[in-house]
Amino acid sequence: EAQVTQNPRYLITVTGKKLTVTCSQNMNHEYMSWYRQDPGLGLRQIYYSMNVEVTDKGDVPEGYKVSRKEKRNFPLILESPSPNQTSLYFCASKPIALASDTQYFGPGTRLTVL
């Protein structure tokens, strides 16, 4: 089954404790992206990657890191989480061809930073 998977689905942590949220897709998509969803703000892009070893900042990159060492994986790293990073996070992927712009989203990771 074609899908984007994220782990963990739920995470409660404390301020300053480094964490990683994993994202994996099995559709051989070049483009991958991380979003955060907050009430009243919609989905805001954190980072994106056009292909392996190519990453770039989205609209709200502060406090986050990403890496793209393999085509299928795009982990999101919070080196020192803070309470304002409490949010619902989504990973998404799509093929790079502009004619097809359907983004496929993962199920989400709900993060709480105390």
Partner 1 sequence: QQQVKQSPQSLIVQKGGISIINCAYENTAFDYFPWYQQFPGKGPALLIAIRPDVSEKKEGRFTISFNKSAKQFSLHIMDSQPGDSATYFCAARSQGGKLIFGQGTELSVKP
Q: Is 7 in the site for partner 1 (CB under 8 A)?
A: no
The β-bridge relationship of strands 19-25 and 76-78 is antiparallel
State in angstroms the smallest separation of the CB of 58 from partner 1. 8
Are the C-beta atoms of residues 6 and 32 closer than 8 Å to each other?
no
Are the C-beta atoms of residues 43 and 103 closer than 8 Å to each other?
no
Q: Is 45 in the site for partner 1 (CB under 8 A)?
A: yes
Q: How far apart are CA 20 and CA 54, in angstroms?
A: 19
* The only residue of 34, 48, 64, 74 in contact with partner 1, by rule CB under 8 A: 48
Q: Which of 65, 33, 36 is nearest to 51 (CA)?
A: 33
State in angstroms the smallest separation of the CB of 65 from partner 1. 19
Q: Is 63 in the site for partner 1 (CB under 8 A)?
A: no
**Which residues sit at the interface with partner 1, rule CB under 8 A?**
4, 31, 35, 37, 40-45, 48, 58, 90, 92, 96, 98, 101-103, 105-108
